[in-house]
């Protein structure tokens, strides 16, 4: 019986050189793969996400349909898979580029979303994903439990100015501001308490984003770490586009930084797992201060190519 063979490309997203940022596997032509195949391949890749590119459905107006899988499930949207996928599609000639900014459209579970590809001389310089307008959920009130889950102290929270809060710009995250970078660096996850935190959140929300306005890089605004629950274990993500969009919206909404009509935030992540990354966030606001747009961008670098044969 003939084997199925599908090409994939591995890239590191939010990195300018290999072995930084967040790794991603992209299957640029997933025609012929079933949903079960995709889930098994994502589990085999064992990365935070793997993407599968299909022709856009008729009437969607999109350039490509992208299905995004973690090792455990399909998800409607994520930032670094979007950026890495369109970096690959552009480099493979599947998106026709123009010098400057090319606007492509991605059909995903979260809807049809624009993606900006910045290029010059045919080379991709940066990819920006335009996320949904933010939705602000409940504040997380049980600080004792959250402190236990992250192995930090109650005094490391600023409940008056910056309480933990659920935010979504396509994928919901619990944004957890902490006092300074040292607190962030010293986080050690207590899995039992972390699972209890997740149990208090809405269904299918498994993600916690710890952050501080105390970066290492002088060009950065924030220093962050991302944690999510997968198959009963807590995983740290080295670079997280969806969480960065939520973070930018949170900071602007609460006026924790200087806010302009277009506010630029540079978020550093991944240092704790030796995969440093830099993520740019642009939050657009109206003259009345309402958030109108959230853009998250970064670079990517190809690391390897292969064939899945099964």
Catalytic positions, written as ranges: 49
C-alpha–C-alpha distance, residues 230 and 67, integer Å: 19
Task: State how far the alpha carbon of 256 is from the alpha carbons of 162, 163, 222, 230, 290, in Å.
Answer: 8, 12, 11, 31, 15
C-alpha–C-alpha distance, residues 89 and 128, integer Å: 14
* Contact status, residue 246 vs residue 168, Cβ threshold 8 Å: yes
C-alpha–C-alpha distance, residues 6 and 156, integer Å: 48
DSSP 3-state of 45: helix
Identify the DSSP state of 162. Answer: B
**Cα of 62 vs its chain's centroid, Å:** 21
* Contact status, residue 27 vs residue 51, Cβ threshold 8 Å: yes
DSSP 3-state of 271: helix
């Amino acid at each position: 019986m003939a084997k199925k063979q599908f090409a994939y490309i591995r890239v590191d997203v939010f990195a300018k050189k290999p072995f930084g940022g967040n790794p991603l596997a992209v299957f640029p032509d997933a025609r012929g793969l079933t949903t079960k195949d995709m889930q098994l391949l994502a589990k085999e890749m064992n990365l935070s996400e793997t993407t599968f590119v299909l022709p856009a459905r008729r009437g969607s107006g999109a350039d490509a349909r992208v299905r995004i899988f973690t090792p455990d499930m399909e998800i409607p949207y994520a930032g670094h898979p979007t950026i890495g996928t369109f970096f690959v599609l552009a480099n493979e000639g599947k998106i026709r580029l123009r010098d400057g900014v090319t606007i492509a459209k991605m059909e995903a579970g979260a809807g049809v979303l624009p993606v900006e590809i910045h290029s010059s001389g045919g080379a991709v310089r940066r990819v920006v994903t335009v996320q949904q307008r933010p939705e602000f959920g409940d504040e997380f009130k049980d600080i004792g439990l959250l402190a236990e889950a992250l192995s930090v102290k109650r005094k490391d929270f600023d409940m008056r100015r910056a309480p933990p809060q659920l935010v979504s710009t396509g994928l919901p995250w619990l944004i957890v501001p902490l006092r300074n970078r040292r607190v962030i660096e010293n986080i050690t996850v207590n899995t039992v308490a972390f699972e209890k935190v997740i149990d208090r959140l809405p269904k299918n929300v498994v993600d916690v984003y710890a952050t501080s306005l105390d970066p290492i890089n002088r060009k950065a605004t924030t220093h962050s770490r991302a944690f999510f629950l997968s198959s009963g274990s807590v995983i740290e993500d080295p670079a997280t586009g969806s969480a960065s969009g939520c973070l930018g919206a949170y900071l602007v909404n609460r006026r924790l930084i200087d806010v302009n009509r277009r506010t630029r935030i540079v978020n550093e992540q991944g240092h704790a797992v030796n995969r440093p990354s830099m993520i740019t966030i642009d939050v657009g606001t109206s003259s009345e201060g309402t958030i109108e747009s959230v853009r998250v961008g970064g670079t990517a670098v190809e690391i390897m190519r292969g064939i899945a044969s099964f």
